[in-house]
């Protein structure tokens, strides 16, 4: 109960200790077993790589963030819009919902080569791919969220002849917000995955590309450094959505559905 609200003293301490222990173990292993650094670089080598080339990592991180943000914005906006259609027009829901659920079993990553043929090997392909990956979770969650309004509430609105726009914007959407944010959290995670995959396939920049480059040149230090930056990028994007959610949930607290 309290853990969800406030930060207890151990909440920060224990994970930090665990992280330090992990790095220490890694260090010991790479030194004690004398593993060659092209197989497993020691933590200080990775750190040196990061600190020694700040521009390299910054530029490539920004390239990845750009794809996540642009593709994610397009994909989630389109997904939200489409979710509104599916959630409010019964015919659309009945016709399309089965497919939206079915599409979930398709690994969207498998679409990347297809996009490559249609859109070429540019920035657009990467953005469209990220958009595609983020699109579906938001459609499903928005449509599902719109059905959360209690039936008596809708009867009440009908009894005063509430217009469809009022009903949607003032009642059904606020009730849908927890689901929409659940979808957004899924989307943002997938967006980072999507951006990295896109960079493997088409890009000449970005953290995904850097990892690939590191692999081709047997530079594990670059790969691990890029991976650590990727963790930071992923966490920041996710954190952004969480902050956004907190701000909005404060205005529209729907009981029992707090994060």
Partner 1 sequence: MIRVEGLTVSFETVTAVEGVDLEVGRGEFLTIVGPSGCGKTTLLHAVGGLQEPTEGRIRIDGEPPGRARDAGRVGLVFQEHTLLPWKTALGNVTFLRRIAGKPPDEPGARRLLDAVGLSGFLEAYPRELSGGMAQRVAIARALHLDADLLLMDEPFGALDEITRDELGVELRDLLRERETTVLFVTHSVPEAVFLGDRCVVLRGTPGRIEGVFDLDLPEPREPSLFTDRTFQEWVGEVRAALYVEASPRR
Question: What whole-number distance in Å separates Cα of residue 42 and Cα of residue 204?
Answer: 28
The residue within the footprint of partner 1, chosen from 148, 174, 227, 228 (CB under 8 A), is: 174
Is 165 a residue that touches partner 1 (CB under 8 A)? Answer: no
Is 162 a residue that touches partner 1 (CB under 8 A)? Answer: yes
Site for partner 1 in 127-156 (CB under 8 A): 150, 152-153, 155-156
The residue within the footprint of partner 1, chosen from 4, 39, 160, 247 (CB under 8 A), is: 160
Is 170 a residue that touches partner 1 (CB under 8 A)? Answer: yes
CB of 253 to partner 1, least distance (A): 5
Is 73 a residue that touches partner 1 (CB under 8 A)? Answer: no
Is 255 a residue that touches partner 1 (CB under 8 A)? Answer: yes
Q: Considering beta carbons, is residue 96 or 171 the nearer one to partner 1?
A: 171
Is 122 a residue that touches partner 1 (CB under 8 A)? Answer: no
Q: Considering beta carbons, is residue 170 or 246 the nearer one to partner 1?
A: 170
Question: What whole-number distance in Å separates Cα of residue 219 and Cα of residue 214?
Answer: 5
- Which residues in this chain contact partner 1 in the complex, by CB under 8 A? 150, 152-153, 155-162, 166, 170-171, 174, 251-255
């Amino acid at each position: 109960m309290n853990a969800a609200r406030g930060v207890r003293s151990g909440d920060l301490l224990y994970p930090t200790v665990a992280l330090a222990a992990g790095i220490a173990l890694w260090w010991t292993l790479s030194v004690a077993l004398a593993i060659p650094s092209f197989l497993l670089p020691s933590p200080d080598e990775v750190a040196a790589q990061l600190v020694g080339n700040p521009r390299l990592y910054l530029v490539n991180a920004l390239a990845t963030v750009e794809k996540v943000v642009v593709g994610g914005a397009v994909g989630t906006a389109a997904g939200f819009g489409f979710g509104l259609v599916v959630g409010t027009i019964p015919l659309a829901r009945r016709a399309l919902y089965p497919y939206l659920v079915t599409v979930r079993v398709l690994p969207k990553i498998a679409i990347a080569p297809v996009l490559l043929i249609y859109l070429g090997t540019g920035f657009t392909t990467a953005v469209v791919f990220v958009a595609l990956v983020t699109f579906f979770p938001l459609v499903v969650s928005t449509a599902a969220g719109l059905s959360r309004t209690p039936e008596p509430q809708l009867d009440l609105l009908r009894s005063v002849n509430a217009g469809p726009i009022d009903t949607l914007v003032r009642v059904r959407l606020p009730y849908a917000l927890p689901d929409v944010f659940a979808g957004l959290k899924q989307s943002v995670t997938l967006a980072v995955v999507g951006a990295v995959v896109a960079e493997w396939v088409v890009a000449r920049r970005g953290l995904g590309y850097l990892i690939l480059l590191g692999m081709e040149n047997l530079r594990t230090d670059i790969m691990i450094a890029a991976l650590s930056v990727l963790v930071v990028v992923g966490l920041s994007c996710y954190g952004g959505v969480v902050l956004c959610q907190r701000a909005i949930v404060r205005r529209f607290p729907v009981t029992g559905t707090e994060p």
